[in-house]
């Protein structure tokens, strides 16, 4: 799933984001609104991680969204 798709489906994906980064509040997730740079900044603030670490975590999370079954459309194959 590319970032445009994540941004477009942010409402559905917010729960997945919260599972991954539980310190982020619903208000923060609304402010982030699917913007990757906003997400990275909020994660850095909440967890005190470096930008590089956060970017790697987001990449890992993003790749998992391709495999997740939140949408039935593209759940089979890669």
Q: What is the pLDDT of residues 3-30, one digit of tens each?
A: 999 999 999 999 999 999 999 999 999 9
In whole angstroms, what is the distance from residue 48 CA to residue 1 CA? 27
- pTM for this prediction: 0.83
**What is each CA distance from 10 to 14, 48, 53, in whole angstroms?**
6, 24, 22
Q: What is the pLDDT of residues 30-69, one digit of tens each?
A: 999 999 999 999 999 999 999 999 999 999 999 999 765 5
pLDDT for position 62: 96
pLDDT for position 66: 76
């Amino acid at each position: 799933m590319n970032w445009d798709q994540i941004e477009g489906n942010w409402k559905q994906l917010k729960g997945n984001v919260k599972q991954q980064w539980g310190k982020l509040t619903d208000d923060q997730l609304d402010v982030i609104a699917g913007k990757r740079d906003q997400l990275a900044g909020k994660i850095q603030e909440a967890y005190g991680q470096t930008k590089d670490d956060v970017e790697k975590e987001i990449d890992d999370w993003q790749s998992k969204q391709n495999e997740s079954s939140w949408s039935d459309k593209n759940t089979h194959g890669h």
